[in-house]
Amino acid sequence: MPGSVTIGHIEAAAMVEHGEADRLAVLLDELGHLLAVEGPNRLSDEQVAALCAGAGMPRRRADLAHWCRGTAAQLHERH
């Protein structure tokens, strides 16, 4: 569909509109930053544990930060 982005792996895909894909990319990029940054703005270990609780999610802070930033980059490239 023109003006949309398909997100998915092998099993399922989700379509979001162009503007929403851009917002999601910015959100994921910022989340990656908050995972990696040192200092008072860094996400707590408890917050990271909650984010990593989903099936198929990375289990370590650095892996999750990498996944967030990589997914954000893919979204920026696709639209």
Query: Where are the chain's structural domains?
Result: 4-78
Residue pair 18/76 in contact by the 8 Å Cβ criterion:
no
pLDDT of amino acid 1: 47
Q: What is the pTM of this model?
A: 0.73
Please report, for residues 11, 12, 13, 37, 42, the alpha-carbon distance to residue 75 in angstroms, rounded to integers and kept in the order given: 19, 17, 14, 22, 24
**Tens digit of pLDDT at every position of the chain (79 positions):** 455 555 555 556 677 788 888 999 999 999 999 999 999 999 999 999 888 887 677 788 999 999 999 999 988 887 6
pLDDT of amino acid 19: 85
Burial of 56 per CB tally in 10 Å (0-12, 13-18, 19+): exposed
